Structure formats: C-alpha cells, structure tokens
Amino acid sequence: MKPLRSALIASIGLVLVLAVSLVLHQRTLESVEPGLPVAAGQAAETAPANPRWRLNPDGTQADEGVSRVQAPNTGDQVRVRERPQGNNAGQTQGFGIIDELDAGSQVVMKCWTDTSAPRDGTSRRWFWVVEAPSGSPHPGVTGYVWSDLVWDQIRVPKCDASMTRPVDPLKHSVVALTQGKAAPSGYFYAVRLSAFPPGWHARVECMDDNDPDVFKSFDLVVNADGTAARDDGCYSGDSGGHWVTVWGVESEHVTWPTSVASPALPTSGADDEPPASADGPRPETPARQEPSGPATRTLLVQNLVTNGATAMREDKPAYLSSRTEPTCRTRGCSLDGTNMSTGARIVATCQLDGSTITNGQNNSPDDDANPGLFSSSLWYGVRWSDGRPGYVSEVWIQPDGRGGLGLPHC
C-alpha cells in the first residue's frame, strides 16, 4: 500500500504545481496590456507591473486616479485626436487633432480600444480620455491618446459607442452663420457658436452647394461662457447655399451673391532677398510681422514634408493657386505651369490668412515629434514670371521667409 499511496501523493502534488503555474501564467498574460477590464471576482494583476501603471500600495494596478501625458522627447506635445489611428494607411479623414497637451498635462482615462499601431512593433492600444478639471489646458475636452503617451494608467473598460459618443454634450449647441465681409473671392463666413462645452476645440468645416465635401476647416477654442466666433475663417465666391458644421452640429444654409472682384496684388517696392535657410531643426513658428507698406520679397521654396519622426523628404511640386485653399490641383484652382521644387525663387507682394496647411501626416502620430513639422494659415500673394497673380502657403517656403516679412495685406 505504501508505494500506491506515495504515487497518489506525488500525482496530487504534480496537479497542484501545474495548477499554480497555469494561474501565474494567466496573470502574466493579463498584465502585458494595461487598462484591461477585470471580471467580477477576478484577482487584480500583481506582476510584472507595467511602468506606466498607477499602482495601489499592494502593487496592483489602481482602478481610479488622474493620469498624465508624456511625449517621448522633451518639449514635444501630445495630441488628442478625434479618433484612434485607423486600419487604412491611406485614410486622411476622421483623425483630426482636437487638442495638443504639454508634458505632464492631466487627463482622466475612460476606456480603451485596440485599432492599429502607429508604427510597426508598437502598441495597438488607444485610450479615450477627458482633460482633467485642473492641470490641463481645456478641462472637459475629450478624445483619443495613444497608450504609450499616457502614464499613471488606471484599469478601465473597453470602449463602446455609449462611452465615446459626443452627442449629449452638444444637444443644446447652436452654430449660426451669416454673410460676412467681402473676401478675395466672394464673402467670408461669419460663424458664431453658442452653448458649446467651455474649452472645447471646435472644428469648423466650411461647405457650399458647389463644394459640399468641406473645402476649408479651422478651429475655434470655446470661451468660458460657451461661445466662440470668427469672421474670416473661410470664404466662398460661389452662388447658392453656404453652411458650416461643428462636430456634427450644422448651421442654417445661407445664400449670398456670386463672387466679387478680387483685390489687385500690389507690385511696387524694393526687392529684398532674404538669406538662404541653413540646414538644421525647424525654428519655432515665426511671429507675424506687421505690414510696413508696399514691398516685395524674394522667397525660396522649400517643398519638404515629414517622413517619420525625424526625416524630411521632397514632396510633389508646390504650385500657385487662385484661392488660399488646399488640394487645388484636384479642385480646379491651381495655376497651370507654376510647379515649383525646393530652391525655386518667387516674388511675394502681400500676405493674407487662408486655410491652415501642414507638411505633416494628419492621419498618423508618427511625425508629431518631427522638428521639421510646420503648420500655418498664412499665405503669400505671388506674381508669377508672366505676370499672373496667385497664392502659396508659407508652409512651402524656407523658414527664413515665413512670418509675413512685413508685407502688406493682400
């Protein structure tokens, strides 16, 4: 009987060892990805702890508390996005930047979702967060942040439509549109927002009957009283209806006359050529120089776009357009025969505000820390060599030539 009993005891011991090993292995698997939900009665993860977690005194991941954001490089900002990174690498819609947070800004995590990684070999996880009541630039603003940029992470459930739907905060919001002042072509859109959440970055999308797919967008930061306004964010010279939408809230459709004549571009003044741009990291956005009178400036084209986190590459040739708007090649407002590569010289005669242009990737956070990343709504009025007037964004000009250079308004 002794051999039989010994064998039985040994078998029981082996089963217990296997069971304990299985439990420890399961806990390890669960702790690989932060923010996973825990079923009722399930023990909290213990080890190994993710360095980004907020921990309880016993070493388990906390269920509550304020988190913070941190970019990989000192001085960089973390972007809060309308949606997480998508699966379609060519998709450029739906990933708009809602806000940009300095390192250490506080957020409250609400839920997680797994889509696609910003780059190969990185996490697929994104968190839906709310900017905290204190320690953030715009309390109450919500959006997605890539998990690797969130620290002091707490355990949150998986996102569903009820958690991330931005309908309720806007159910009483109103977007008003009226015909504004005369523009270079037609009239400006005079936009007024009311009953919006204070601090929100409101994405205003401009449309008209001739171009219902959004021909221009700009952002407004909502005031403490829930209002915001801008009279020169976009314009249209087309007849028919004109309207804007803000996060799905649509204004009334407003009709105004067809295009008015564009003001002539000034041509007199001295030709003052700036020095060539030195290689190196992009300087901060130059301060807008106030106009000092009629003048011209010779500008050097820099037709570069971001290529990942640190590099830049030559893009398709820049060109002059008849409107201060993007994608004029496909919309019929580019000037034939004005293609320009890096190093080309052009003569600017004036400056004005138009659509915001970027040399970065709107559909990916890969280039958020790129020192060459640059965005601006400033455009230059340019007279081509054959005398034709047109416009070019300062984004496609070498850094020395940005900021307006004291040119008069167009």
Contacts of 17 (CB under 8 A, 6+ apart): none
Decide if pLDDT at 95 tops 50. yes
Q: Residues 6 or more apart from 117 whose CB is under 8 A from it?
A: 85, 123, 124
Q: What pLDDT score does 47 carry?
A: 46
Q: Which of 42-56, 132-146, 335-349 has the lowest mean pLDDT?
A: 42-56
Which one, of 147, 255, 138, 237, lies nearest residue 197 by Cα? Answer: 138
Beta strands in 89-232 (DSSP E): 97-101, 106-114, 125-131, 142-146, 150-151, 174-182, 187-194, 201-208, 211-221, 228-230
For residue 9, the model assigns a pLDDT of: 53
Which residues are bridge partners to 179 per DSSP? 189
Q: What is the pLDDT of residues 190-244, one digit of tens each?
A: 999 998 877 777 889 898 888 767 888 898 888 888 899 999 999 988 878 999 9
How far is it, in rounded angstroms, from Cα 334 to Cα 357?
A: 15
Q: Is the pLDDT of residue 27 over 80?
A: no
CB atoms near residue 47 (< 10 Å): 10
Other CB atoms within 10 A of residue 40 CB = 4
- Check if the beta carbon of residue 54 is closer than 8 Å to that of residue 67: yes
Average pLDDT for residues 93-102, to the nearest whole number?
Answer: 69
pLDDT of residue 258: 66
Q: pLDDT tens digits for 361-389?
A: 776 788 888 888 998 999 999 988 777 88
Q: Determine the average pLDDT of the residues in 301-327.
A: 87
Average pLDDT over residues 93-119: 82
Whether residue 301 contacts residue 342, with contact meaning beta carbons closer than 8 Å, is answered with yes
- In the chain, the percentage of residues whose pLDDT exceeds 90 is 25
Mean pLDDT (whole number) for 341-363: 86
pLDDT confidence of residue 266: 43
Residues 349 and 381 sit within 8 Å (Cβ to Cβ): yes
Percent of the chain scoring above 70 in pLDDT: 72
pTM for this entry? 0.38
Residue 370 · residue 309 · CB < 8 Å = yes
The pLDDT mean for the chain works out to 76
Q: Which domains, from first to last, does the chain contain?
A: 67-164 (no CATH), 169-255 (2.60.40.10), 271-401 (no CATH)
* Bridge partners, residue 211, by sequence: 208
The whole-number average pLDDT for the span 80-94 is 55
* CA separation for the pair 159, 168 (Å, rounded): 17
- Residue 162 backbone dihedrals phi, psi, to 5 degrees: -70, -25
Higher-pLDDT residue of 31 and 250 is 250
Q: Could you tell me the CA-to-CA distances from 309 to 130, 227, 367 in Å, in that order? A: 26, 37, 4
166 vs 80, more confident? 80
Torsional sign, CA 391, 393, 397, 399: positive
**pLDDT score of 269:** 39
Each residue's pLDDT tens digit, 246-270: 877 889 999 987 654 444 444 433 3
The pLDDT score that the predictor gives to residue 8 is 52
